[in-house]
Amino acid sequence: MKYYILTTTKFAEECITYLTYGSTQSNWLANINVGDMIFLSQFNYKSQDLFGPFRVTKTLFYDKTIIYPQQKYFFRIQYNPIGAIKKIGETDLYLRGIESNNIAAYFQIINLIQQNKHLHCMCLTKDEGEAILNTFLKIGIEYANNLKSSIQSNLKNISSNIDCEYIYNKNKLDKKCYFSSESDLEAYIIFSIKITKSDEYKNVNKLLNKYPNNGLQCEIYNQFIFGNAYPSDIVILNKENINVFELKKDKLSNSNIAQIEKEIEKHLYYSLFSNRIKSNTGINRFNFYLTYLKDNASEQFEQSIIKKYKHLCNKIIGLRENTITFVEYEVKDKILLLEEQ
């Protein structure tokens, strides 16, 4: 079980009424599984409140039923309350930090929510999730709401489950070899590596096995934030390795080199002493996997990126081993191939 915060600026009432949360892209909610615990956050100039706790009952699906006025949040999940629905405020987290003699940890959670309220979904660590849950249980106030359970049965009849097959067809991968969006590429990989017998799982595991004590039997996050408001695509953590997969739907080119350098710099440095990574004291290695569309002419761009990567690593020599791997993707025979260049 994992913990997540789902964010909204003005539709908390609808999310609670229909026990349904929606996003605009396929990747934001892709990593959430049935049984995971979620908290709903509504932060705006009028209020800074969290609602919950809820347990996920239906994973990602696509549905156009109008729930959120004039908004197209069609990629959705559903959930049920765990006991009575409660509400806590930002200051309640701080008060709980005082009561538990752990102000720093709770203050960090407040900062995390404030910095990233623009995101649809925030992955939480186990400690963060338990701290928020504890606050709900200890000092949460019951929140009155008229649940409209009938909407759930209606959605189940007209919605489409989002999985690899759905994304494959949506991107028309039988006719072309590339994804239309990076969000779909990310979602496809996440769904694939949930299936241990899939070819994609084997491909990713092979890429990880390049380094000692590394593999997919570990914690997997998407849009994970190491310590600042700058999410990464896919993060795979274990006791000795931080693996970051940065995804590009297109080929490498001069136009995306500057952006890639910025992404490397953020992930490389912010992960170094991130207190969101519980095992950070034992981390031996940071592995950056730059993943992009297969192209025979990519070598010149790879050399430029390697040069920039080494320059960034030189600023933190001796603190940790840092590696970079170039991974090309292509779709062939209904399989997403991920191979080291």
99 and 129 in a common domain: yes
pLDDT at 227: 75
Among candidate residues 119, 139, 159, the one where a domain is terminated = 159
CATH of the domain at 305: 3.40.1350
Tally of structural domains, the chain: 2
Residue 245: name the closest of 314, 340, 123, 319 by CA. 340
Give pTM, 2 decimals: 0.92
Residues of the chain with confidence (pLDDT) below 50: 150-151, 153
Measured CA to CA, the distance from residue 122 to residue 3 in angstroms comes to: 9
User: Which domain does 266 fall in, by range?
Assistant: 164-340
CATH number of the domain enclosing 48: 3.10.590.10
pLDDT value of position 158:
62
The closest alpha carbon to 60, from 174, 184, 178, belongs to 184
Q: Are residues 155 and 187 in the same domain?
A: no
Q: How far is CA 266 from the centre of its chain?
A: 16
> Do 154 and 169 lie in a common domain?
no
Residues 13 and 152 in one domain: yes
Same domain, 56 and 139: yes
185 in the same domain as 144? no
Q: List strands edge to edge, sheet with 219-222.
A: 219-222, 234-237, 241-247, 285-293, 321-332, 335-340
213/86 same-domain check:
no
